[in-house]
Chains A and B, each alone.
Chain A
Amino acid sequence: MSKVKNIQLNREMEYPYEESRPRRQIAYIFDTNKCIACQTCTVACKTTWTSGKGQEHTFFNNVETKPYGFYPHGWDVKLLGMLGPGEWDGEGTYNGKTIFEAAPPGERALGFLPEEEDYASPNLGEDISAGSVPQGAFFQNIHNIWMFYMARICNHCTYPGCLAACPRKAIYKRPEDGIVLVDQSRCRGYRECVKACPYKKIFYNMVTRVSEKCIGCFPLIEQGEQPQCVKTCIGKIRLQGFLSKPGEEKEDNPLDYLIRIRKIALPLYPQFGTEPNVYYIPPVHVPRLFLKQMFGPGVEEAIAAYRSAPRDKKLLAALLMFGNTPKIIQRYAVEKEEAVGFDGMLQEAVRVPFTEPFFQRDFFDKKHQVYRHNIS
């Protein structure tokens, strides 16, 4: 094992390979407060990549309801149970064991292989809240019973569990953008990756008899466009871009700004140790203890920063880059009352007003001689 720096754990950790960060790292931000679980992302991904035979229960993208939704069944609670408790200290350092440090003898990582049936109910737990709403509470005030939707894809981890576990080195991380891929010509279907991925985002295909995973829509990325799941999100909860290497963050890169500088978006289960690169803006209404287990120690600060966005133009401008253009935004700026995003060629790709102009039409359309249902 090598010693590598995990910036999410604020310490060095053990990993089977030496630290080798890509030139820039593909990263995503998902705003859980805006997700309505419409599954448009899921369908867009499935239609594009996993509509073949043998992929009936393969969802590179899924949206599950927390706390009782899982795909595959129990993916996170099983591993959390195996890993055992771990503490974050006051400096934001994780003192528990990662999946690599807790690897059993003869294994590269701590993990488990789901059963086929665990994939059979991708909507298990959907819309199930954390408890029952007391009778009458609906009419009295805001009640405290909660749930939230969590969209999940491959995290294109900096230290992927799948890559660490593959004995054939059929899994690789692209140096140009950090996308993690399974070489479909080399994989022999051993499923060590399925076992080791803590997020269970590698899938075994019983027809092709090899493992498959989210490819980050790399053909789109290579053309400067965001992935299918991001572009099709009708709730505009997603932003995809690139993170700079640690220490080289740029204030006008919306991903750098939101994740590393303002720390408004947090990694999912950072304690697993893979340094995942899908970052979540935590749901503001969920008990903090639950969120801390899921997103690490920065939850309170992230939510406070998120709540301040209406009064913080720079922050608001970054958030307005979500879902407003298919292009990958490399830098952004505030220009008077507008947020402006620029693509990889530094050409203007999107311009969004802080306040949408309001138009009101007449109730009766004289030209077509009809009444309008919607006039604003």
Chain B
Amino acid sequence: MRHTTALPLLSVLTLLALGGCWGSGDEKSVGSSELKAAKTESAPISDPRSALWNAAQETKVALMPQSIVYPLLGKQSVTSLRVRALLDDKWLAVRLEWDDRQRDDKLEVDKFTDAIAIEMPIGDPQKTNPMMGSKEYPVYILHWKAVWQKDVDVGHHADVQEYHPGYWADPYPFVAGRYPYDVSESFQSDNARRYFAATSVGNPIAKLYRQWPVEELHAEGFGSLADHNFQDAQGKGVWENGKWSVVVSVPRQTADKANPALSSGVTTAIAFALWDGSNQNVGGRKHWAPFVKVVLP
């Protein structure tokens, strides 16, 4: 079937024309248009509460509801992000903070996770579309999810009984061990994983074990999101007192050609996306901010 309804390249262009590729310079309405990374000896790549972040200038980034492609975000619930960036020889670490009264880190049919993503151009920032890039000018995306953070923090994949202690089925074929048959331990054989179809075919969303709560992605337009073969980014998120603090860290020295070039002195760009789980944000139902300029010292 051929798709006939791409919304509106015109809308994208209109939006960019209104905001400019680097976003608007009107700080009152849309926040800053530049993120200045501060140089440090050792960036706190997985510590959003480190005092070192005080050395970096805070940039306020205004968020908008995604209104370019279906499905749209109907209701905006977060208006801005507070962003700081630190750079050492190996990493570009970006900390994002926002107010969120409810921590959403569960996934069920009607429950969605809080999440953020940063996006950077792989090629010329001035020619790259901040809405998921394009075939000619793809983008690098680093995605953090609260549900992955919880997996990492507790040391295992969120299990059925954590949400519903009374749920179980009589036979889980080929399962090992005892009830409640922990997902991370009792389903190790290929036969036992036959019913985890997405896991069996290597879908990164269906991983049963995570070392980091982040995922490196590549996009060449809407609907093209794909995992990097090589995952070497890091990050960590902490929710406290109605506020998320999340650091996501992009490696500067990597053989992965799908990563952005982050040499000192480079001026590049960074865009943001945010998902508020309790407002059923997922996929395209997200908050976003177009590119702001990033100056690497």
Binding site for B on A (CB under 8 A): 1-2, 16-18, 20, 49-57, 105-108, 113-116, 119, 163, 165, 167-169, 173, 184-192, 194, 203-210, 212
Contact = CB atoms under 8 A, between A and B. Distances in A.
Nearest to A188: B205
Interface stretch (B8-16, B41-49, B195-203, B234-242): B195-203
B56 interface: no
User: Ordered nearest first, which 3 A-B pairs have the shortest CB separation?
Assistant: A52-B195, A106-B72, A190-B283
Contact of A53 (B67, B107, B172): B172
Contacts of B107: 189, 206, 209
Given A17-B1, A210-B203, 19 more contacts: A17-B3, A53-B172, A53-B195, A54-B196, A105-B72, A106-B70, A114-B109, A116-B110, A167-B71, A167-B223, A168-B225, A173-B1, A184-B198, A185-B198, A185-B202, A189-B282, A191-B282, A206-B108, A212-B197
Contacts, number: 152
Interface centre among A2, A169, A189 (most CB of B within 10 A): A189
Interface stretch (B86-94, B133-141, B160-168, B244-252): B160-168
A114 B109 CA distance: 7
Contacts of A50: 195
B4 A2 contact: yes
Interface in B97-122: 107-111
Contacts of A207: 157, 159-160, 183, 196, 208
Task: Classify the interface of chain B: helix, strand, loop or mixed.
Answer: loop
Given A56-B167, A116-B110, A194-B109, A208 B199 contact: yes
B198 A167 contact: no
A56 B175 CA distance: 14
A20 B2 contact: yes
A143 B284 CA distance: 54
B198 A187 contact: yes
Contacts of B265: none
B205 to A, nearest CB: 5
Nearest to B175: A53
B3 A167 contact: no
Contacts of A108: 70-71
B172 A51 contact: yes
A106 B71 contact: yes
A119 B109 contact: yes
5 contacts: A50-B195, A52-B172, A53-B172, A56-B167, A208-B203
Contacts of A2: 4-5
Task: Classify the interface of chain A: helix, strand, loop or mixed.
Answer: loop
B7 to A, nearest CB: 10
Interface string B160-190: 1001100111011101000001010001000
A49 B181 CA distance: 19
Contacts of B67: 106
Contacts of B280: 113
Contacts of B74: 105-106
B283 A18 contact: no
Contact of B169 (A16, A20, A56, A113): A56
B276 to A, nearest CB: 15
B222 interface: yes
B280 to A, nearest CB: 8
Nearest to B163: A206
Nearest to B110: A115
B198 to A, nearest CB: 4
A210 B169 contact: no
B206 interface: yes
Contacts of A119: 109
A53 B284 contact: no
Contacts of A56: 160, 167-169
Given A53-B181, A114-B109, A169-B223, A192 B198 contact: no
